[in-house]
A and B are shown apart, each in its own frame.
Chain A
Amino acid sequence: MIRFEHVIKYFGERKVLDSVNFKVERGETFVIVGFSGAGKSVTLKHMIRLLTPDIGKIYVGDELMSTASGADLVRLREKFGMLFQDAALLEWMSVFDNVALPLREKTNMSNAAIEKRVEEKLRQVNLDGVHDAMPSELSGGMRKRVGLARAIVMNPDIILYDEPTSGLDPVTSRAIDQLIDRMRLELKVTSVVVTHDLFSALAIGTRIAMIYDGRILEISRPRDFIRSQNEIVKRFLDAQYITQRGAWERTDHETQ
């Protein structure tokens, strides 16, 4: 569905993506993990052409995304929904208007239909009764969920999530995980999820890719990922108390 071929990107002298190669299959939940500043958001932005590779090609379906322009680009982008890392809500519009925006601007749906769809999406992200609130009145986690509702409101084929669960409480995080999983199972949506949260990566990912300093270190299925022999991947797993047995354990309690 999305294919990166030898993508190289420089920001000034700095190589932020170094020959990135991978393929996201249709109907997959592809999780990208990595340290802060590794290039996860940059990778995600390349998929939707907010950034253009200096060298290399990016395909969406069979079409070249990295050079598309005009009407082609619009058509390709319409396949996508995207949740930005900081939600990117329009501050001067209410929550309802933010979520309804793509429907109002891009479709001819009636007001009643729009209202129904927005209600449904807000309920899916566990947000109720904040319709008329302005984004500035919401907590970080609520903003994120509004952004998520906006990303899925057009029922896109591909959804890109930049840290959907960061800043959320554990219960809501799991609800978002379930939402992502449900969309894959029921609607055959292809998702690319950038996250720090290894628990949700292991729970929802069909494959996990680890980016380190602009390079892909490892792409594997969750159960292989936690057994990885790569030193950096191991360090990343250890830091979140995930051992090869799957869950975390604290040794000091056991010795008492």
Chain B
Amino acid sequence: MITHEPEFLPPPSNLRGRLGRSVLLACRNAGRALLILWEAVLSLRFVFSKRSRPVVLQQLYITGIKSLGVISVVAMFTGMILALQMGLELRKYGQEVNIGLAVMVTMLREMGPFMTALILAASVGSAMAAELGTMTVSEEIAALEVMSISPVRFLVMPRLAAMMIMTPILTFYACMLGVVGGAIVGSTQLGVSVPAYIDNALRWAENKDLYVGLLKSFVFGIMITTICCYEGFATTEGAVGVGRATRRSVVISFLAILVVGYIITRLFYQ
């Protein structure tokens, strides 16, 4: 069951009690979140069913198209900043043509997945937590459960599907725009011609960089959905609770993105 009964824990007596309880609760919540994820993954088989299709399409639109603007701007400027910073250093050694490689690899490996995930967590993820949180406190989730309509299948699965598809696509798009931004700075500020920049970027960047980056973003997409949906369902106490759920979902998503991003990098680049 997704709806939980209200909890009343006696106030902890001392610091150790408080710490111990936070750890235990964190573990339990992580377990509950994983159960939601598991059920959502199992119900992905309904993603193309007639009744889910419109909802999935709508979520794809919200996740993908609506975030395009801010991702474009951020990606472009990240590429430009990277090119400028590294270009100025490399110019001291006459190596400024290598900004192509530097921008491409940085974007593919780290900045692309990382930035896209942060933007999606802050915009799409927080909206998920707020929506589901509002539905929880106004008993809409309970009403779904009473009708034996699984809130996970009905609400989480379309969001998960949309994020699984859209995060890698948006990440790839962000990387490409970042490279374009780098090219613009290269040709206008550093005197690196566009063909030389592209040539340099493509010669040294590996396919592995692309794949690991996309894998990372895929994992980030799943994590953001799980965390934000879990926080939404766990909301209690009205409007204040919705605010708290939204804030927690964004903060936890950011931390998880950083930590898991590091772990994946460590796994693939020893």
A interface residue numbers (CB < 8 A to B): 10-13, 48, 50-52, 74, 77-78, 80, 82, 84-86, 88-91, 101-102, 104-106, 154
For the A-B complex, the count of residue pairs with Cβ-Cβ distances under 8 Å equals: 53
Contacts of A84 in B (CB 8 A): 139, 142-143
Docked complex Cα distance between A102 and B148 (Å) = 9
Q: Is B195 an interface residue (CB 8 A)?
A: no
Interface of A: prevailing SS: loop
- Please tell me if the beta carbons of A11 and B6 are within 8 angstroms of each other in the complex: yes
In the bound complex, CA of A89 to CA of B135 (Å): 9
Q: Is the CB of B142 within 8 A of A105?
A: no
> What residues on A are CB-neighbors of B149 within 8 Å?
101-102, 105-106
Assess whether B8 is in contact with A13, with CB atoms less than 8 Å apart.
yes
Question: A105 near B154 (CB under 8 angstroms)?
Answer: yes
User: Can you name the residue of chain A whose Cβ is closest to the Cβ of B58?
Assistant: A92
22 intermolecular pairs with C-beta atoms under 8 Å apart: A11-B6, A11-B8, A50-B142, A50-B146, A74-B148, A77-B145, A77-B146, A77-B147, A82-B143, A84-B139, A84-B142, A84-B143, A86-B138, A88-B138, A89-B140, A90-B135, A91-B135, A102-B147, A105-B147, A105-B154, A106-B147, A106-B148
**B side interface size, CB within 8 A:** 18
Main secondary structure of the interface of B (DSSP, over half): loop
Find the residue from B5, B138, B139, B149 having the highest chain A CB count within 10 A. B139
Q: CB within 8 Å of A: which of B1-33?
A: 3, 5-6, 8
In B77-96, the 8 Å CB interface with A consists of none
A198–B239 Cα gap in the complex (Å)? 33
Q: Is the CB of B140 within 8 A of A90?
A: yes
Chain A residues contacting B147 (CB-CB under 8 Å) are 77, 101-102, 105-106, 154
A88 touches B148 (CB 8 A): no
